[in-house]
Amino acid sequence: MEIPDTHPTPPGQQATKPQGSEAPPVLAFDVEAVLDMLDQNQELAKVVVQSAIDDLSQQITDLAQSIDAGDWATAKRTAHTMKGLSAQVGAMALHQKVIQMHLRLRDGAEIAIDEIADLRDRYDNFSTGAVAWLGSAGAATDC
């Protein structure tokens, strides 16, 4: 499943270009997608995104531990959870990678532990953009 890039990359954010593809880059953090999903409720979006920063980091750790232990059922459940949460909070590059991992796990394939580094990089790009947006969104609403 390919995630279309409907928004240009804002300054200070990194985008990820799908491997082996001529498709445009996918945003690390798509704030417009979050706001659209939450009916432009910026206060709710801030709460959801802040919570997801911590949750996604923990889920990556949990996924790495289950892969390392060969616990594929837990890895599949964790990837499924990450797939939904990453889409909900606009972590589109992370979401794209998690979809690939979840589909492979669902089909009975194993995931190499070294793939976690790419997942972590995508998370780091998301959290950098999200934290920057949270700072600017807070400043804009505190006036």
Distance from the Cα of residue 123 to its chain's centroid: 6
pLDDT surpasses 70 at 18: no
Contact 34, 95 (CB under 8 A): no
Q: 24 pLDDT band (50/70/90 cuts)?
A: low
Distance from the Cα of residue 75 to its chain's centroid: 16
Residue with tokens 């417009």: 32
What are the tens digits of pLDDT across the range 25-82? Answer: 788 999 999 999 999 999 999 999 999 999 999 999 999 999 999 999 999 999 999 9
Share of the chain above pLDDT 70, in %: 78
What are the tens digits of pLDDT across the range 80-138? Answer: 999 999 999 999 999 999 999 999 999 999 999 999 999 999 999 999 999 999 999 76
The 3-class SS string of the chain reads: CCCCCCCCCCCCCCEECCCCCCCCCEECCCHHHHHHHCCCCHHHHHHHHHHHHHHHHHHHHHHHHHHHHCCHHHHHHHHHHHHHHHHHCCCHHHHHHHHHHHHHHHCCCCCCCCHHHHHHHHHHHHHHHHHHHHHHHHHHHCC
